[in-house]
């Protein structure tokens, strides 16, 4: 089989591209090196639906984040991806940071975002009473929101498959063999052939780019560690609390999560190891010290989990999206953490590049409706709370994970979905099972049994 397009990488960006191109008459294959979609950079981030107010005006990133904010917001409503429109507040703790706020307003306006406003100390504490002492002023960003990154990735990939894309998991690309009519990708899951190749490989994008003869960037894995607090702390953090950006980065945030928790982080540490997603003692101590200064009362409560993700940092200040017509190859690199918000806009942009190269990307008129995703957000109605649903199917009332109130019916549905989980982490991302304060201590063995029986089916 020779696909018209092969997309490498089934994170949010790659899945969005596959979804967009599968809406055309093109045959599309989505190739993922790991065992599941969204199992790399896309699974571990700060999960913000970002207005792009602080992007560098005039960059491709700023344009695509602004466009993606609206595309993903609309798509979330269609598919049931959990979103909470909490808004955000940048807090200035020093006179120097206060002086930066007007420039941030101007930057936001340069990006087309006109809703930022500067507020004084009393208004900062009215909105976030549990902030630590010493805040001088704040910048409000009412459009910032929290979103479920797991459901976003799964929805895009599920939609791509429903539109006719072929998904190959566990197929890591090891070699690229160019030919006159198509390119052959040697993968750990067998050969894959495509007339056009799209590189959305995230942390491995530069290595794959080199297979096509380029040496234009190097991915530096940047580890971001985060702390997760118990749901009892959620009333302390009614909105996203951001630091004023500096030359050292965007700083540490305190944010509610879509699952009802509170999150503090991330750190920012450049590494060499592209697999180093473990947490560290130094990262934990850094977040505790920074977070305690931001919100002391939060740290009187329990930290229930910590995790780390790797961002595909590069030495470029913008996205690297480029089409090579001679090799029929498209690079989508250096996307960083904003790819969650911009992913659908990146897909739209890539489709435009292909159209300019003579590829017919006209959308079909027989597309299936978008998938309706299971709700794993705390603000929406969960299956165990839906009396009619439980009455119709008692499995939705039989709780497997008591911390997160995950039912046997939800786990069954995950295995019967178009892209079933391959392991416990995949099941966790689809249902929240084992994601609570006990971290699977009580339900882990039962969940493992369900995984084995579900995989056997």
On whether both 417 and 285 belong to a single domain, the answer is no
Q: Which helix (H) or strand (E) holds 166?
A: strand 166-168
Do residue 412 and residue 447 come from a single domain? Answer: yes
Q: Alpha carbon of 426 to those of 291, 420, 422: distances in Å?
A: 30, 8, 6
In CATH, what number is assigned to the domain containing residue 180? 3.50.50.60
**How many other CB atoms are found less than 10 A from the CB of residue 362?**
10
Residue 27 is given by DSSP the state -
In a domain, 330, yes or no: yes
Domain presence at residue 373: no
- Collapse the DSSP code of 292 into the 3-class scheme (helix H, G, I; strand E, B; otherwise coil) and give the result: helix
Instruction: Give the end of a domain, one of 248, 276, 311.
Output: 311
Distance CA 316, CA 216 (A): 10
- The answer to whether position 130 is within a domain reads yes
Q: Is residue 282 part of a domain?
A: yes
Tokens 């739209």 found at: 348
Please report the pLDDT score of residue 310 as a whole number.
Answer: 87
Compute the distance between CA of residue 168 and CA of residue 189 in angstroms, rounded to an integer.
8
328 & 445 share domain: no
Residue 439 gets which letter from DSSP? T
Same domain membership, residue 404 and residue 425: yes
Alpha carbon 314 to chain centroid, angstroms: 18
Domain span holding position 264: 88-142+220-311
What the block records as the tokens of 18 is 């596959």
Q: State both tokens at 300.
A: 């009187």
In a domain, 113, yes or no: yes
Q: In terms of domains, do 417 and 441 share one?
A: yes
- Does 154 map to a domain? yes
Using only the alpha carbons of the chain, give its radius of gyration.
22
Residues 199, 231, single domain; the answer is: no
Q: What is the CATH number of the domain that holds 96?
A: 3.30.9.10
User: Both 301 and 445 in a single domain?
Assistant: no
Examine the domain organization and report whether 229 and 264 are in the same domain: yes
C-alpha–C-alpha distance, residues 110 and 140, integer Å: 16
Question: Would you give the end-to-end CA distance of the chain in angstroms?
Answer: 27
Q: Return the H-helix or E-strand segment holding 256.
A: strand 253-256
187 and 304, same domain (yes or no)? no
CA distance 118 to 106: 11
Selection from 32, 42, 25 nearest residue 163 by Cα = 25
Instruction: Kindly report the number of other CB atoms within 10 A of residue 59's CB atom.
Output: 15
**Same-domain status, 234 and 307:** yes
My answer on whether 329 and 233 are in the same domain is: no
Write out the chain's pLDDT in tens, 457 residues: 899 999 999 999 999 999 999 999 999 999 999 999 999 888 888 899 999 999 999 999 999 999 999 999 999 999 999 999 999 999 999 999 999 999 999 999 999 999 999 999 999 999 999 999 999 999 999 999 999 999 999 999 999 999 999 999 999 999 999 999 999 999 999 999 999 999 999 999 999 999 999 999 999 888 989 999 999 999 999 999 998 876 555 678 999 999 999 999 898 888 888 888 888 899 999 999 989 989 999 999 989 988 888 888 888 889 999 999 999 999 999 998 899 999 999 999 999 999 999 999 999 999 999 999 999 999 999 999 999 999 999 999 999 999 999 999 999 999 999 999 999 999 999 999 998 888 888 888 888 888 887 654 4
| Overall number of domains in the chain | 3
Distance, in Å, from the CA atom of 147 to the CA atom of 98, rounded to the nearest integer, reads 29
For residue 47, give the 3-state DSSP assignment: coil
Q: Look at residue 378 and tell me if it is in a domain.
A: no
Number of Cβ within 10 Å of residue 430's Cβ equals 25
Cα–Cα distance for residue pair 410/438, rounded to 1 Å: 20
Give dist(CA 44, CA 40) in Å, integer: 8
**Cis upstream peptide for 266 (omega within 30°):** yes
Residue 374 placed within a domain: no
Q: Which pLDDT score, from 0 to 100, does residue 348 have?
A: 98
Residues 224 and 138 both lie in one domain: yes
pLDDT at 437: 83
Helices (H) then strands (E): counts for the chain: 12, 22
The span from the CA of 151 to the CA of 155, in Å, is: 6
């Amino acid at each position: 089989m020779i696909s018209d397009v092969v997309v490498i990488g089934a994170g949010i960006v790659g899945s969005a591209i596959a979804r967009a191109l599968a809406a055309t008459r093109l045959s599309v294959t989505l190739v993922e090196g790991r065992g599941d979609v969204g199992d790399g950079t896309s699974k571990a981030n700060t999960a913000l639906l970002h207005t792009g107010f602080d992007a560098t005006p005039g960059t491709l990133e700023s344009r695509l984040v602004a466009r993606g904010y609206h595309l993903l917001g609309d798509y979330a409503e269609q598919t049931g991806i959990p979103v909470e429109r909490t808004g955000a507040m940048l807090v200035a703790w020093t006179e120097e940071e206060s002086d930066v706020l007007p420039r941030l307003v101007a930057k936001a306006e340069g990006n087309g975002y006109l809703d930022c406003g500067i507020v004084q100390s009393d208004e900062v504490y009215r909105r976030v009473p549990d902030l630590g002492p010493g805040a001088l002023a704040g910048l409000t960003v009412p459009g910032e929101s929290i979103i479920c990154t797991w459901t976003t990735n799964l929805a895009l990939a599920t939609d791509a498959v429903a539109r006719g894309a072929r998904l190959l998991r566990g197929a890591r690309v090891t070699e690229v063999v160019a030919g006159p009519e198509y390119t052959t990708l040697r993968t750990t899951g067998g050969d894959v052939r495509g007339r056009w190749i799209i590189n959305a490989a995230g942390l491995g994008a530069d290595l794959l780019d080199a297979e096509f003869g380029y040496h234009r960037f190097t991915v530096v894995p940047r580890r971001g560690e985060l702390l997760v607090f118990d749901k009892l702390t959620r009333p302390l953090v009614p909105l996203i609390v951001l630091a004023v950006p500096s030359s050292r980065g965007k700083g540490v945030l305190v944010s509610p999560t879509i699952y009802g928790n509170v999150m503090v982080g991330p750190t920012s540490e450049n590494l060499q190891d592209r697999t180093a997603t473990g947490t560290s003692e130094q990262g934990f101590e850094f977040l505790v010290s920074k977070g305690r200064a931001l919100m002391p009362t939060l740290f009187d409560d329990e930290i229930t989990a910590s995790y780390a993700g790797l961002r595909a940092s590069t030495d470029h200040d913008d996205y690297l999206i480029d089409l090579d017509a001679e090799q029929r190859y498209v690079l989508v690199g250096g996307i960083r953490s904003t790819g969650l918000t911009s992913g659908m806009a990146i897909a739209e942009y890539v489709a435009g590049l292909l159209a300019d190269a003579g590829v017919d990307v006209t959308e079909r008129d027989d597309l299936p409706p978008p998938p309706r995703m299971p709700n794993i957000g705390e603000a929406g109605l969960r299956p165990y709370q839906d009396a009619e649903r439980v009455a119709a199917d008692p499995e939705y009332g039989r709780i497997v994970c008591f911390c997160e109130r995950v039912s046997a019916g939800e786990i069954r549905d995950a295995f019967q979905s178009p892209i079933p989980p391959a392991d416990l982490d995949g099941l966790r991302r689809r249902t929240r099972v084992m994601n609570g304060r006990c971290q699977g201590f009580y339900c882990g063995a039962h969940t493992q049994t369900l995984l084995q029986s579900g995989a056997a089916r």
